[in-house]
Amino acid sequence: MAILDILKLPDQRLKQVSEPVDSFDQSLRDFIADLEETRLAGPGAVGIAAPQVAHFRRIVILDLSSRPKTPNHGHLVLINPEITHWEGFAMGREGCLSVPDYTGNVIRATQIRLKAQDADGVEHQYEMEGFEARAVQHELDHLDGLLFVDRVVSRRTDLYRRKVYK
């Protein structure tokens, strides 16, 4: 396993749309292991998407298992994910490994229904709400070449320099 380099804004590759995964083999599982190791190396990262490490396939890892008071599905590997239903909207603060110096307020759906494949190609359906729904939407944006800074209502009032704690 290896810790991969994270692309950071203003790298234009972050704007690239990712291609679907069509081969569920050992090389995919090896990449997922490297992506997970990279996520774990990030400061407080609950999710990571393949395009953040210059691998332009529709792969996301999400793990909210460390937040027991937050409704969640635990550790998820989502391949070719697609939101099939969403409802409700709320503003919330987001940060990103690819935008390390800023956080921002973004409006997201509060409840979603999602379908995705796992590392073996088996399709699953999930119903998500709250922080888990927000985190999935954030990671799925990476697959379409979007960052949270593209979704802030106003860069003047909703974008904040990240605090550095010593």
How would you classify the pairing of strands 47-49 and 159-161?
unpaired
Tokens of 104: 């921002």
Residue 73 is assigned to a ligand binding site: no
Q: Cα dist. 69→61, 113, 126, 144 in Å?
A: 20, 21, 18, 30
Is 132 an annotated catalytic residue?
Answer: no
75 is in an annotated binding site: no
From the list 82, 94, 129, 139, the catalytic residue is 139
DSSP H helices, 9-143, are 26-41, 130-143
138 annotated among ligand-binding-site residues = yes
Residue 141: CA count within 13 A, CB half-sphere = 21
User: Residues within the annotated binding site?
Assistant: 96, 138, 142
User: Residues within the annotated binding site for Fe cation?
Assistant: 96, 138, 142
Residues recognised as catalytic: 139
